């Protein structure tokens, strides 16, 4: 289990914890509010926000990241600016323009596909609308493992004509991803395959590289147990990397930017623009892109905003109990 080199005492961690619930502008991953624990820690403000359905074993890695950021800080950056993509959730085509309007200079757009209850027709219509609005932008799709092998091939064939930069996690699992990539190459479809869940949700995040299952990795600081551990995984994998967020507040997004800023090579825009999907934040100056890029700066949680967006008392108890359980997993 990844963990900071020295864990701060649990009492200190709990004393610095604030549970917040921030509304979203559009439904994302089936939720309209994003819950998170924000730490006012000694080194940096930090975030612990594993999705609600994740078990403690998986969520503990997210806590390891928060403790690393909050009590150790960030590694030394090699760049001060990180290019980012806009993100279009699985909305109807007529909503796409409003979503894109929340981003500044969207030169790269990630479009969600394979949403439960929707069809390939819905996906094509959404991608087509983005391409119509932004004819020169780089487009990438993210299925979150929602397709099976045949659905993925049908989807990639239908969408390849829109000039996709890559398809992120079109199918679930490492071996199915490898099989799909082989077939994509055999059919000479002009789409790269990116691995996300097959890296961050597997016990062996390097299996993707060993099996040749992807052309590039999508990495997130929280699920991989911290910025430094994620940097090590990229170095060992030897594949290009795209840094993404997990629908984080500005605090969590700053950790993602620290990861992107410390990578030796950064060939792709990063998925660190989801703060624009929030209708509120825990810092007065949200960490959002300007001219299509994030400029590194200190991002600190504001006490008044944390009080304003404080989660209801039952949710606070739920999150603090989860925090304690995850901390025990890091200790043991």
Distance CA 258, CA 45 (A): 13
What residues are annotated to the active site? 112, 220
- Identify the CATH assignment for 81-295 out of 3.90.120.10, 3.20.20.120, 3.40.640.10, 3.30.70.141: 3.20.20.120
Helix (H), strand (E) at residue 216: strand 216-219
Helix (H), strand (E) at residue 38: strand 31-40
Which residue ranges are tagged as binding site? 142, 168, 196
Give the chain's mean pLDDT.
95
Q: Across-strand partners of 146?
A: 171
Residues in Cβ contact with 46 at an 8 Å cutoff, skipping those fewer than 6 apart: 38, 39, 65, 66, 67, 69, 70, 251, 255
- Identify the CATH assignment for 10-73+303-331 out of 3.40.50.10420, 1.10.3720.10, 3.30.390.10, 2.30.30.40: 3.30.390.10
Contact 202, 177 (CB under 8 A): no
Residues spanned by CATH 3.20.20.120 within the chain? 81-295
Confidence label for 5 from pLDDT (cuts 50, 70 and 90): low
Residues spanned by CATH 3.30.390.10 within the chain? 10-73+303-331
- If 0-12 CB within 10 Å is exposed, 13-18 middle and 19+ buried, where does residue 163 land? middle
Distance CA 155, CA 177 (A): 14
DSSP 244: B
* pLDDT at position 281: 97
Question: What is the pTM for the complete model shown?
Answer: 0.92
| pLDDT tens profile 28-82 | 777 899 999 999 999 999 999 999 999 999 999 999 999 999 999 999 999 999 9
Which residue ranges are tagged as binding site for Mg(2+)? 142, 168, 196
> What tokens does 20 get?
């917040």
Confidence label for 1 from pLDDT (cuts 50, 70 and 90): very low
Distance CA 115, CA 62 (A): 25
């Amino acid at each position: 289990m990844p963990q900071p080199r020295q864990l701060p005492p649990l009492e200190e961690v709990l004393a610095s914890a604030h549970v917040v619930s921030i509304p979203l502008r559009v439904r994302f991953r089936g939720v309209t509010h994003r819950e998170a624990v924000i730490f006012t820690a000694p080194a940096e403000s930090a975030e612990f926000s594993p999705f609600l359905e994740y078990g403690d074993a998986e969520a503990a890695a997210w806590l390891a990241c928060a403790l690393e950021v909050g009590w150790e800080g960030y590694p030394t950056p090699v760049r001060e600016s990180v290019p980012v993509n806009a993100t279009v959730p699985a909305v109807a085509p007529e909503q796409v323009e409003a979503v894109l309007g929340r981003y500044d200079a969207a030169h790269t757009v990630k479009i969600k596909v394979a949403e439960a209850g929707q069809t390939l027709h819905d996906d094509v219509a959404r991608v087509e609308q983005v391409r119509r609005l932004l004819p020169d932008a780089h487009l990438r799709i993210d299925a979150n493992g929602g397709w099976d092998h045949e659905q993925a091939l049908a989807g990639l064939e239908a969408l390849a004509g829109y000039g996709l930069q890559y398809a992120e996690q079109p199918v679930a699992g490492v071996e199915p991803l490898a099989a799909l990539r082989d077939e994509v190459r055999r059919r000479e479809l002009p789409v790269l395959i990116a691995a996300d869940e097959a890296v961050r949700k597997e016990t062996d995040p390097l299996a993707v590289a060993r099996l040749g299952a992807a052309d590039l990795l999508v990495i997130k600081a929280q699920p991989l147990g911290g910025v430094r551990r994620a940097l090590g995984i990229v170095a060992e994998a030897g594949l290009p990397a795209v840094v993404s967020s997990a629908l984080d507040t500005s605090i969590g997004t700053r950790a993602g930017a620290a990861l992107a800023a410390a990578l030796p090579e950064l060939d792709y825009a990063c998925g660190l623009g989801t703060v624009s999907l929030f209708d509120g934040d825990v810092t007065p100056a949200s960490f959002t892109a300007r001219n299509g890029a994030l400029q590194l700066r200190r991002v600190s949680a504001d006490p008044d905003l944390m009080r304003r967006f404080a989660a209801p008392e039952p949710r606070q108890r739920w999150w603090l109990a989860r925090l304690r359980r995850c901390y025990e997993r890091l200790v043991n």
